[in-house]
Amino acid sequence: MSNKSLLRINNLQAGVEGRAILKGINLEINAGEVHAIMGPNGSGKSTLASVIAGREGYEILGGEIEFRGEDLMDMEADERAHLGLFLAFQYPVEIPGVNTTYFLKSAINETRKARGEKELDAVEFLKFIKSKAKLLDLPEDFLKRSLNVGFSGGEKKRNEIFQMAALEPVMAVLDETDSGLDIDALKVVANGVNQLRGPESAQLVITHYQRLLDYIVPDVVHVLHDGRIIKTGPKELAHELEDKGYDWVIKEAEQPA
Amino acid sequence: MTETVQIEESDSWLEAFEALEHAEKDSPTWLIPFRKAGLAQYAKTGLPTLRDEDWRFTNIDPIRKTAFRPTFAPAILEAAVLDGIPYPFKTGNAARLVFLDGHFQKDLSDMSKLPQNVTSISMRDAVAREDLRLDQHLGQYTYHHDNPFAALNAAFFQDGFYLNIPKNLQIETPLHIIHLSSGNDAQASFARFFIRAGEFSKCTILESHHALSEGIYLNAPTTEFVVENEANIEHIKIQDESKQAFHIASVYAQVGRAAQFRSHYLDMGGRISRNNIRTKLNGEGLECVLNGLYLADGDQLSDNHMIVDHSKPHCDSHEYFNGILDDKARGVFHGRILVQQIAQKTDAKQTNKNLLLSDDATADTKPQLEIYADDVKCTHGATIGQLDDEAIYYLRTRGVPKAVAQRMLVHAFAGEIIDRIHHNVIREELDEMVWTRLEKFAHFQNVTTT
Ligand SMILES: Nc1ncnc2c1ncn2[C@@H]1O[C@H](COP(=O)(O)OP(=O)(O)OP(=O)(O)O)[C@@H](O)[C@H]1O
Ligand SMILES: [Mg+2]
């Protein structure tokens, strides 16, 4: 059960328009683990998340990504989702006219269909999402509203976690889901994530702040800088980064070995 | 099918008029002058060319090149034929008025659901009825200098409908005008509708245009609305003509104090189609909504051209037009909000959005504000674009396949317009209609599951 590798990234290099952003990422996440990635602005955290999730428009210059033993590179974003991958966006997209309930029903049932499971009917579906919505303390009417439209920053982030809870992914990547949240909302979000924790699943949490990691306690902390993971350590590393910033890690990494 | 002969435009219309004048020797005295004024206006300008500012994106050469003939002899339609037409609100509770090539079909129409005190009568009969004083009403609010098709309608209309809703009468049952075109090549129809909504009255008017066959015909109806003070009219016009046909509709509305005029347009058919909409906001505190959706593929051209004339203070007007264009289709939007000097506190908003589903589809859009008052709130905007890749990606990360994600976004785009229709059943049916039509677009035939 433990040490079962869920995500294996090997020497991943990616960029846009000829410019390298990820310059050789190595990362292995096992079932049951929570990893955190921290790093300065522009270091490539969101790019890594996007490449894992299957966003088009990035040139893959080299390396591999394997998820649950399957090569992700040739898979579309929706196929990756069906395999159990979820990305909570740093900036969730507003989609006018697409009703949240309608969208979620399609997302859940398409996923179930792809997995060979029976689709939920209207009654089952409503019962299911109402129970998930309760967890996230979202505004009453949000299920009836257009996806993310008119949501505050915090509501959007909670909506991401709500969708995650509803889709029950094997592996969730959270890109700065904590930014813009007050402490109560932060607890709600952390609770949502912790509910998913288990021996068969894993989470990759991208954040700038230790504060989230007080609630979602990571097993491993990585520092990403200029497209490379320059340091990996235990959860205490996050405290150290919060206190001392990144400069010392960057200096340390630049020392010739 | 009749042969399409190419001759000089003026010949066919002017010749046709001589025949009409002769046939109408015994018509009411005002009618021939009324027609002649239309014909004179037409003769002055001829059919528009791209040099006309109001027609510069809409090349009507295919219309000019066809020698159309007005339909003078009323044909009679079998009930079974009507049953075969997929017109909207078929099972709904409505008063139905059926027209074939501009002529009222009494036997297929059912006015029994209209309250007794409504004056509802075919235009042919109304013209002959002196007590209705049509000479004082018809064409009162129309003008033709920028629209030769409306001028031709004045010259050639044979029939249509006259509806007068008395003061305070709220009609729950929608009135459905069903206009059918036989679809014979070179046939031209000029139905004329006159609708007056008395003070505090209320009515939903559904107007739909369909074809019995796929010929090259012209349908150029004119509809006049007189919406009196505090009246409430919801008008829903659906254009589902033959893909070979030409549909040039003229809508004129004169709206009174604190009235509501909501006019919706769904355009799906026609090789060239145009709604020429002119609304005069002629009382304080009224609300006027023009709301349209055009779907075009192949080499269709769909044009919406409107002028909203704010001539009293404190009026709200909103124009929302969305177009979904595939293949080589073209969308044209031309909207002008005119705010007269006395029209202070005007609140006007105009948007036109075009969604291009293919590289060859194009849209021309020209939203205009012309403001002579100083204390007003007016906004306008236009967009031409493809589906939002960012939104598609977002949906896909949640497990929604690409084809489904695209449909969701297109549906949402159409929904922005459809959702503004107040009448629930009609709204839901239109939603279905739009979706059925969109599913036929090449774009949706081609998208794979990845
Ligand atoms: N699609 C793109 N096109 C051009 N440049 C991009 C694109 N995506 C990322 N970049 C660039 O790559 C670098 C890394 O961006 P990324 O968003 O991954 O950083 P980040 O670590 O998530 O930063 P932050 O902490 O601010 O969220 C930045 O310099 C960014 O401008
Ligand atoms: Mg980022």
pLDDT tens per residue, range A149-183: 988 888 899 999 999 999 999 999 999 999 889 99
Q: Is the pLDDT of residue B57 over 80?
A: yes
CATH number at residue A67: 3.40.50.300
Distance CA B138, CA A120 (A): 58
pLDDT classification of B4: cutoffs 50, 70, 90: very low
Place of tokens 């129309």: B142
Its ipTM equals: 0.95
CA of A36 to the centre of ligand 2 (A): 13
Concatenating the DSSP letter of every residue in B233-300 gives: EEEEEEEE--TT-EEEEEEEEEE-TT-EEEEEEEE---SEEEEEEEEEE-STT-EEEEEEEEEE-TT-
Residue-wise pLDDT tens digits, A221-250: 999 999 999 999 999 999 999 899 999 999
- Least confident range from A52-66, A124-138, B308-322: namely A124-138
pLDDT classification of B24: cutoffs 50, 70, 90: confident
Q: Is the pLDDT of residue A8 over 90?
A: yes
**3-state class (DSSP) for residue B143:** coil
Predicted pLDDT at B11: 62
Predicted pLDDT at A257: 58
Closest atom of ligand 1 relative to the A39 alpha carbon: 21
Is the Cβ pair A76, B399 closer than 8 Å? Answer: no
Distance CA A113, CA A105 (A): 12
Q: At what angle do helices B31-45 and B148-156 cross, to 10 degrees?
A: 150
Distance CA B331, CA B195 (A): 29
Do the beta carbons of residue B370 and residue B340 sit within 8 Å?
no
Mutate to test the interface with B, among A98, A102, A113 (most CBs of B within 10 A): A98
How far is CA B87 from each of CA B98, B114, B178, B429, rounded to the nearest angstrom? 11, 20, 8, 10
* Out of B390, B397, B416, closest to residue A53 by CB: B397
Q: What percent of chain B has pLDDT over 70?
A: 96
Amino acid identity for residue A92 in this structure: P
Closest atom of ligand 1 relative to the A206 alpha carbon: 22
Closest atom of ligand 1 relative to the A21 alpha carbon: 12
Average pLDDT over residues A32-41: 96
Predicted pLDDT at B447: 55
- Least confident range from B77-81, B117-121, B176-180: namely B77-81
Residue B421 lies in a domain: no
Check residue B68 and report its DSSP letter: -
Residue-wise pLDDT tens digits, B323-340: 999 999 999 999 999 999
Answer whether B396 touches A (CB < 8 Å).
Answer: yes
How far is CA B326 from each of CA B21, B270, B355, B431, B445, rounded to the nearest angstrom? 44, 15, 9, 19, 12
Q: Is the pLDDT of residue B93 over 50?
A: yes
Residue B148's Cα: distance from chain center in Å?
16
> What mean pLDDT value characterizes chain A?
93
Distance CA B118, CA B360 (A): 49
Residue B303 lies in a domain: no
pLDDT classification of A136: cutoffs 50, 70, 90: confident
Q: Is the pLDDT of residue B3 over 50?
A: no
Do the beta carbons of residue B87 and residue B210 sit within 8 Å?
yes
What the block records as the tokens of B371 is 């403001």
- Least confident range from A25-39, A108-122, B7-21, B277-291: namely B7-21
Average pLDDT over residues B185-207: 97
**3-state class (DSSP) for residue B128:** helix
Residue B383 lies in a domain: no
What b/e readout covers A162-188, taking b as 16+ CB neighbours within 10 angstroms?
bbbbbbebbbbbbbbbbbebeeebbeb
> What mean pLDDT value characterizes chain B?
93
Predicted pLDDT at B379: 95
Residue B91 lies in a domain: yes
Other CB atoms within 10 A of residue B328 CB: 16
Average pLDDT over residues B225-243: 98
What the block records as the tokens of A104 is 């979620």
Check residue A89 and report its DSSP letter: -
pTM: 0.88
pLDDT classification of B284: cutoffs 50, 70, 90: very high
Residue B314 lies in a domain: no
Average pLDDT over residues B7-16: 67
Range of the domain at A206: 5-254
Do the beta carbons of residue A231 and residue A253 sit within 8 Å?
yes
Answer whether A146 touches B (CB < 8 Å).
Answer: yes
Q: Which residues contact B175 (CB under 8 A, 6 or more apart)?
A: B94, B95, B97, B114, B163, B203, B204, B205, B206
Ligand of minimum distance to the alpha carbon of A38: 1
Average pLDDT over residues A25-45: 96
Total tally of structural domains belonging to chain B: 1
Q: Is the pLDDT of residue B6 over 60?
A: no
Q: What percent of chain A has pLDDT over 90?
A: 81
Give B391's strand partners: none
Q: Which residues contact B305 (CB under 8 A, 6 or more apart)?
A: B54, B274, B275, B276, B277, B332, B333, B334, B335
Name which residue leads in pLDDT, B321 or B72: B321
Average pLDDT over residues A133-157: 84
Residue B308 lies in a domain: no
pLDDT classification of B25: cutoffs 50, 70, 90: confident
Residues of B in contact with A76 (CB under 8 A): 396, 402, 450
Predicted pLDDT at B74: 77
Residue-wise pLDDT tens digits, B63-73: 999 989 999 88
- Closest approach of B395 to chain A, Cα-based (Å): 8
For ligand 1, whether the C-beta of A50 sits within 6 Å is no
Ligand of minimum distance to the alpha carbon of A175: 2
Do the beta carbons of residue B121 and residue B25 sit within 8 Å?
no
Answer whether A120 touches B (CB < 8 Å).
Answer: no
pLDDT classification of B446: cutoffs 50, 70, 90: low
- Least confident range from A140-144, B249-253, B418-422, B425-429: namely A140-144
Total tally of structural domains belonging to chain A: 1
Predicted pLDDT at A19: 94
Residue B413 lies in a domain: no
Q: Is the pLDDT of residue B450 over 60?
A: no
Answer whether B85 touches A (CB < 8 Å).
Answer: no
Residue B328 lies in a domain: no
Do the beta carbons of residue B99 and residue B221 sit within 8 Å?
no
Predicted pLDDT at B9: 47
Q: What percent of chain A has pLDDT over 70?
A: 98
Range of the domain at B244: 12-283
Predicted pLDDT at B195: 98
Distance CA B184, CA B3 (A): 10
For residues A175, A178, A179, A180, the Cα torsion angle rounded to the nearest 10 degrees is: 130
Q: Is the pLDDT of residue B204 over 90?
A: yes
- Closest approach of A179 to chain B, Cα-based (Å): 19
Q: What percent of chain B has pLDDT over 90?
A: 88
